[in-house]
A and B are shown apart, each in its own frame.
Chain A
Amino acid sequence: MTLSRRGFIKVGGAAMTLPLLGGTAFGQAEKLKIGFIYVGSINDNGYNYAHNQGRLYVEENLGDAVETMFVENVPEGPDCERVVRELAQQGCKLIFATSFGFGDSVIKVAPEFPDVAFEHATGYMKADNVGLYNARFYEGRAVCGVIAGHMSKTAKAGYIGSFPIPEVVMGINSFVLAARQVNPEFTITPVYISTWNDPAKEADAARAMIDQGIDIVAQHTDGPAALQVAAERGIVGGFGQGADMSAFAPETQLTAIIDHWGPHYLASAKAVIAGTWAPGDTWEGLKEDVVQMGPYNAKVPADVVTAAEAMRTGQIDGSVHIFTGPINDHTGTERVAAGVTMTDGELLSMDWYVEGVIPPA
């Protein structure tokens, strides 16, 4: 129902009518208001959709104890500051800024509202009332990489990225490390399109890669456009990103990485209600169920499913960490020694490509 980020006041209004349905708001302690800021549309079937599902999860579980509001399509830049401030002024005591580029705005506004808890997704800057949360998407990408390594005939994959931030670079590296464990000849070409939401450009990027010999396409942008092109061209396949996108390419989506933020949002909301919230720095993955894998496509052979499941369960029980050395960078220089696992800090600031990535200039 929202037209734009300016429409969010209406959403707030709509949310306020919820107690009328519940009917027992009398005399209770004040509801916790929670604000969510999304970089794109909640209808993108991907990243922002997944965050919004997390918001609904909180509402489902806490019912009348909370009231949530959200603002979508907020650009990463100075305008975000205004949105953060407005949410805080409307009485939100817990605010989730769900995109990397909102970090500066949150850090700037947070000191003005010391009694508000802020949480910034995929970021790196903490403060007294700003916590960080992230999901180990790279774990899901390793599972995808195993499948790609087995199934690609050309041993070449393309990867559509938005911007070369560590989060994206890490995902590419994880994918190719896993694929090269299967097929040491495997290479990947990242193409950055400088936007999170331009489906026609994503589609053209996929066409450009497929025309140049790739037969697996992965993406770190928010929609299913690349998967649809993969289906149109009949290549081996691709992967859903953020949500199960099999509706768009039933024959082509090999599996999907599903963001499942609900449990984290619920835990934070409960902590604020209980007064125990402290700025955290959580980074949960397959094990905590914050990252889930979608169903495997019927065309993925049984032995490949077994290998992919081994990668998935290995990461859950801790026996596998994809960023364990020896790891060479794309020039062949050793960056991680044999047996050494990269620290979270190193991963979160990763700005180099592993061997097998054909780096963009």
Chain B
Amino acid sequence: MDLTIAILVTVVGASTPILIAALGELVVERSGVLNLGVEGMMLLGAIAGFVVQFHTGNHYLALICGAGAGMAASLIFGFLTLSLSANQTATGLALTIFGTGFSALAGASYSARPVSLMSPIFPELAAHPVLRVLFGYSFPAYFAIFMVFAIWFFLKKTRAGLILRAVGENDLSAHSIGYSVVKVRYFAVMFGGAMAGIAGACFPLTLTPQWAEGMTAGRGWIAVALVVFASWRPFRLLGGAYLFGLVMTMELYAKAGGGPLSAIPSELWAALPYIATIVVLVLISLRRDASTNAPACLGKPFMPSN
């Protein structure tokens, strides 16, 4: 029982940044834009969060600045792909390379500097042997779950969410009835950037209180895969993020504790999230229900003059 609780606590920690980044990417993709720069924006958020926490000691300010760094990077992406209609895939990949390099440059002088982890919101309950599984986390874990509900409500129940989905499903129709496709997508891309930045800042603030080059180590790509895995639905994303986190964490617990699961090679564990994504893609493709599919305009530049 104690061990189960301990595992779940670690799972939530590992899942939270993936969930936050994937929620941002979900909104971006629902508006019809594919931003593959999540990993790069996360690293920029991580270094911004680290530097601000190091100099001010304020974790919340660090998260906000992480969000700002991610958003600033997403504006570069937005300008290139939305204003200049550049290829989204190539621009997104470039953004990841840029983020990896720029964060390393900015962080070069911060390598031997530790910071402190964010404290749990409910310190008394965090020490409880059982209740800590619900109340033992710092702010980002609750923020992530709140955002699942908020984004679901926004997409499903609000007029703005309807417009965003319309832009993602059929940009020309949305344009023809008077909505500014580019403006809507700018907002979506900036939101995605801010979320990726927060997700990146979670690494030095909640997981391992240091700066290390490339410290997100591919989690941004898992987030992108997760959006597909969740078939662009917020609640499936919530389940998927915890499932991916469970897979990543169980590998380590199984190996540390022995038992039958430890016989699975680590390469297979590492591949499992992606295998799961492919399986889900196959299942989606087999279904005839169009509503589970990707936004119709995903990845296509908006060019009304054509």
Given A203-B207, A204-B14, A45:B111 Cβ within 8 A = yes
- Chain A residues near B217 (CB-CB < 8 A): 195, 197-201
A232 on interface, CB distance cutoff 8 Å: yes
Q: Complex Cα distance A191/B107, Å? A: 29
Residue interface mask B198-214, A partner, CB < 8 A = 1: 00000100011110111
Cβ-defined contact, A189 with B105, below 8 A: no
Q: Tell me the nearest residue of chain A to B260, going by C-beta.
A: A361
Given A198-B217, A200-B215, A360-B262, A193:B252 Cβ within 8 A = yes
Q: How far is the CB of B133 from chain A (nearest CB, A)?
A: 13
Q: How far is the CB of B89 from chain A (nearest CB, A)?
A: 21
Give residues of chain B (7-34) contacting chain A, Cβ–Cβ below 8 Å: 7, 10, 13-14
Give residues of chain B (261-276) contacting chain A, Cβ–Cβ below 8 Å: 262-263, 266-267, 270
Q: How large is the interface on A (under 10, 10 to 19, 20 to 34, 35 or more residues)?
A: 35 or more
Number of interface residues of B (CB under 8 A): 43
Could you give 13 example pairs across A and B, Cβ below 8 Å?
A: A2-B104, A3-B105, A43-B112, A44-B111, A199-B207, A199-B208, A200-B208, A204-B207, A204-B252, A205-B255, A208-B257, A224-B114, A249-B114
Cβ-defined contact, A41 with B255, below 8 A: no
Cβ-defined contact, A192 with B258, below 8 A: no
Q: Complex Cα distance A223/B215, Å? A: 11
B1 on interface, CB distance cutoff 8 Å: no
Q: How far is the CB of B201 from chain A (nearest CB, A)?
A: 13
Mostly helix, strand, loop or mixed at chain B's interface?
Answer: helix
Tell me how many residue pairs across A and B have CB atoms closer than 8 Å. Answer: 131
Cβ-defined contact, A201 with B101, below 8 A: no
- Chain B residues near A204 (CB-CB < 8 A): 10, 13-14, 207, 248-249, 252
Q: Tell me the nearest residue of chain A to B100, going by C-beta.
A: A4
A142 on interface, CB distance cutoff 8 Å: no
- Chain A residues near B286 (CB-CB < 8 A): none
Given A193-B266, A203-B208, A45:B10 Cβ within 8 A = no
Q: Tell me the nearest residue of chain B to A244, going by C-beta.
A: B112
Residue interface mask A146-187, B partner, CB < 8 A = 1: 000000000000100000000000000000000000000000
Q: How far is the CB of A221 from chain B (nearest CB, A)?
A: 11
Give the residue of B105, B208, B255, B257 whose beta carbon is less than 8 angstroms from that of A1: B105
A247 on interface, CB distance cutoff 8 Å: yes
Q: Which of A191, A197, A208 has the most CB of B within 10 A?
A: A208
Cβ-defined contact, B253 with A212, below 8 A: yes
B108 on interface, CB distance cutoff 8 Å: yes
- Chain A residues near B258 (CB-CB < 8 A): 189, 358
- Chain A residues near B203 (CB-CB < 8 A): 199-200
Q: Complex Cα distance A251/B305, Å? A: 66
Given A228-B208, A360-B262, A211:B214 Cβ within 8 A = no
